């Protein structure tokens, strides 16, 4: 039987950096637990407080792994309910470049990338030069331990890999320069958003003597960063106020459908949808019996003010013009995004993609010119998002080519200028973990 150690470890989600995990250590032998955690990649942030902050956002998984090892050593471990919820959550990276990998294999790839990041951060891997290679970063460096190899690195954050090894820094630099001479820069590349967030989390933990208040005050934020609120209540109010819409619920009581009296506009609300899966679908038809003209979806964590803006637009339409929509052209794109341009959002074009990003980089609108040329396929021509970045969006709205520019313009106006409130306590719906898919899942089989 493993002898008990007088150390207690309380594991919890980080109060200000979602996905990071804190460990508060107490007991006369707390140093034993501290040494074990630091050996596993945890960082001391204050007296009796350690933080696990990774670039792959797998902290809950590795916190659970640490808890098992500590318990096996006879150390008492407490996991808070909200951290346990994060541990139990299933998610995957969107648009993962190695789709053949299983979830455990993806985690292995991410962990190797984490080890490379930690080696650079701790001075064990010296980066000689870096360059841009398409949409990612490449670099060349040398491990400084005796007999350390020089390596070619490809990718960023959780996708960084060692793709070649060399016997000496000279050979590595010569090979690197042959390929990347034009864009080669000395030293490491600028830190990524994930690296900066992890670094900040490691130094921003609360002390064990001054825990974060259980009920902090609300703050004023842009509407796109507000709480999701009660979507069901929003729909009920909408239907009770606008009698030209009728509703019914499915036999399983999981979904509410609403139809405009013109029978050309329809809403589906999935009540128990995951925060990052499709919870709303709005579909429009030229006539009650025609094929669908356009479709718009919104995920379950879409902020209440944004959902309200969508419902407000639908409330004051007669069904006809909104149902028909118009083909996408330069004029309609400009009309849909004028508010963003006026508000100083960053406007960029990259091949088929045109993007508008908020000045703070935490929200954006993306237009796919390729999808716009295939209006009959109802592809996601527009993607509206908010969160750490598009690949880890907190919420998304997608819209097909014929979605009316007036509707998109109302949403843009809301993104650019509207404000709302948000509670500061950690919330599962605002975790930066990736959604199951960048494009929300299709609704279940029904007319929408």
| CA separation for the pair 157, 57 (Å, rounded) | 10
Residues composing the chain: 448
Instruction: Please write the tens of the pLDDT for every residue from 234-271.
Output: 998 999 888 899 888 665 668 999 999 888 999 999 98
Domain interval for residue 55: 8-91
13 and 128 share a domain?
no
In a domain, 217, yes or no: no
- State which of 91, 115, 147 marks the end of a domain: 91
Pair 227, 426: CB distance under 8 Å: no
Asked if residue 81 and residue 130 are part of one domain, the reply reads: no
Q: What is the mean pLDDT of residues 42-58?
A: 92
pLDDT in tens, 326-369: 778 899 999 999 999 999 999 999 889 999 999 989 999 999 99
pLDDT at 176: 95
**pLDDT at residue number 18:** 79
Edge-first strand order for the sheet with 21-26 is: 43-46, 49-52, 21-26, 8-13, 76-79
107 and 76 assigned to the same domain: no
- Binned at pLDDT 50, 70 and 90, residue 379 comes out as confident
The string of pLDDT tens digits covering residues 23-43 is 999 999 999 999 999 999 999
What are the tens digits of pLDDT across the range 199-217? 888 887 555 444 444 444 5
Is there a domain that residue 1 lies in?
no
The answer to whether residue 59 is domain-embedded is yes
At 4 the pLDDT is: 72
Check whether 420 has a pLDDT greater than 90: no
Separation of alpha carbons 355 and 339, rounded Å: 14
pLDDT digits (tens, 9 = 90+) for 86-123: 888 877 777 788 888 888 899 999 999 999 999 999 89
Q: Is residue 338 part of a domain?
A: yes
Question: Are 46 and 172 in the same domain?
Answer: no
End-to-end CA distance of the chain: give it in Å, rounded.
Answer: 61
CA dist 378 and 308 (Å) reads 24
pLDDT at 69 over 90: yes
Identify whether 44 is part of a domain.
Answer: yes
In this structure, which long-range contacts are made by residues 123-128, counting pairs with CB atoms below 8 Å and at least 24 apart in sequence? 125/151, 127/153, 127/187, 127/188, 127/189, 128/169, 128/172, 128/173, 128/176, 128/186, 128/187
> Do 170 and 249 share a domain, yes or no?
no
Number of structural domains found in the chain: 3
162 and 232 share a domain?
no
Distances from the Cα of 59 to the Cαs of 72, 113, 277, 294, 414, in angstroms? 20, 14, 22, 40, 34
Rounded average pLDDT over 377-383:
86
DSSP class of residue 5? -
Whole-angstrom distance, CA of residue 14 vs CA of residue 285: 47
CA distances (Å), origin 217, targets 51, 418, 424: 24, 20, 7
Rounded to whole angstroms, the Cα distance separating 27 from 25 reads 7
User: Residue with structure tokens 């004028």?
Assistant: 338
């Amino acid at each position: 039987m493993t002898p008990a150690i007088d150390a207690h470890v309380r594991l919890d989600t980080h109060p200000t950096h979602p996905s990071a995990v804190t460990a508060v250590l107490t007991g006369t032998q707390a140093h034993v637990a501290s040494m074990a955690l630091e050996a596993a990649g945890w960082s001391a942030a204050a007296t009796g407080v350690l933080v696990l902050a990774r670039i792959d956002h797998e902290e809950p998984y590795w916190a659970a792994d640490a808890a098992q090892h500590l318990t096996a050593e006879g150390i008492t471990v407490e996991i808070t309910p909200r951290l346990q919820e994060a541990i139990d959550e299933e998610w995957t990276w969107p648009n993962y470049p190695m789709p053949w990998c299983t979830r455990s294999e993806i985690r292995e790839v991410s962990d190797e990338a984490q080890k490379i990041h930690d080696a650079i951060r701790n001075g064990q891997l010296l980066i000689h030069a870096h360059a841009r290679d398409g949409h990612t970063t490449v670099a060349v460096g040398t491990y400084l331990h005796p007999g350390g190899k020089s390596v070619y690195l490809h990718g960023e954050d959780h996708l960084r890999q060692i793709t070649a090894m060399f016997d000496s820094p000279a050979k590595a630099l010569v090979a690197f320069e042959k390929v990347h001479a034009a864009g080669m820069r000395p030293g490491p590349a600028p830190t990524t958003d994930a690296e900066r967030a992890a670094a900040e989390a490691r130094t921003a933990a609360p002390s064990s003597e001054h825990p974060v208040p259980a009920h902090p005050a609300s703050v004023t934020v842009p509407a796109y960063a507000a709480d999701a609120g009660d979507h069901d209540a929003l729909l009920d109010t909408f239907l009770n106020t606008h009698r030209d819409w009728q509703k019914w619920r499915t036999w399983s009581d999981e979904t509410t459908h609403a139809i405009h009296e013109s029978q050309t506009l329809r809403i589906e609300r999935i009540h128990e949808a995951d925060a990052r899966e499709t919870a709303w679908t709005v579909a429009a038809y030229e006539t009650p019996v025609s094929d669908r003209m356009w479709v718009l979806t919104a995920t379950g964590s879409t902020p209440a003010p944004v959902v309200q803006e969508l419902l407000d637009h639908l409330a004051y339409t007669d069904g006809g013009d909104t149902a028909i929509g118009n083909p996408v052209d330069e004029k309609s794109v400009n009309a849909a995004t004028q508010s963003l341009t006026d508000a100083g959002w960053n406007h960029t074009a990259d091949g088929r993609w045109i993007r508008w990003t908020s000045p703070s980089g935490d929200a954006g609108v993306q237009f796919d010119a390729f999808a716009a040329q295939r209006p009959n396929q109802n592809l996601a021509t527009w993607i509206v998002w908010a969160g750490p970045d598009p690949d880890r969006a907190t919420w998304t709205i997608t819209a097909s080519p014929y979605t009316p520019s007036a509707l998109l313009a109302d949403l843009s106006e809301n993104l650019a200028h509207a404000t709302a409130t948000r509670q500061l306590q950690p919330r599962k719906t605002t975790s930066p973990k990736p959604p199951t898919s960048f494009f929300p899942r299709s609704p279940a089989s029904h007319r929408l």
